[in-house]
Amino acid sequence: MAQPLEKPDLPARFASFADFRLGAKRRIPHFAFEYLDGGIGRDVGLARNYSSLDRVLLTPRTIDEGTPPETALDLLGERWTYPFGVAPVGMGGLFHPESAPALAKRSAKLGTPFCLSFVASHSVETIISAMGRAPWHQFYWPRPDDVQNDILARMKALGVTVIMPTLDIPGHQWRERTIRAGVAAKPSPWVTVRDVAPKPLWAYETLKYGKPGLPNIQTYSGGGPAEAEMFLLQNCIRPIGPEEIRRLRDKWDGKIVVKGVMAPEDAEDFVKVGVDGIVVSNHGGRQLDAAPGTPEMLPPIVEAVGGKTAILADGGVRDGMDVLRLLALGADFVMVGRMPYFACAAMGARGAASLDLLAMQVRTVMAQLGVRNVEELRRLKVEVS
Per DSSP, the three-state class of 338 is helix
Integer Cα distance of 328 and 331 in angstroms: 7
DSSP letter at 166 equals B
Burial of 375 (0-12, 13-18, 19+ CB in 10 A): exposed
Contact yes or no for 80/112 (Cβ under 8 A): yes
Closest CA to 346 of 94, 12, 21: 21
Cβ(265)–Cβ(21) below 8 Å: no
DSSP 3-state of 89: coil
Cβ distance 115 to 341 under 8 Å?
Answer: no
Contact 83, 71 (CB under 8 A): yes
Taking alpha carbons only, the member of 181, 199, 185, 190 closest to residue 96 is 199
Active-site residue flag, 283? yes
Cβ-contact 330, 378 below 8 angstroms: yes
- State how beta strands 73-75 and 56-58 pair: unpaired
Q: Distances in Å between the alpha carbon of 306 and those of 257, 294, 300, 301, 303? A: 16, 18, 10, 8, 5
CA dist 216 → 10, 138, 191, 274 (Å): 31, 11, 26, 26
Q: Environment class of residue 207 by beta-carbon count within 10 Å: exposed (0-12), middle (13-18) or buried (19+)? A: exposed
The answer to whether the CB of 326 falls within 8 A of the CB of 293 is no
User: CB-hemisphere CA count at 13 Å for 22?
Assistant: 7
Active-site amino acid positions: 283
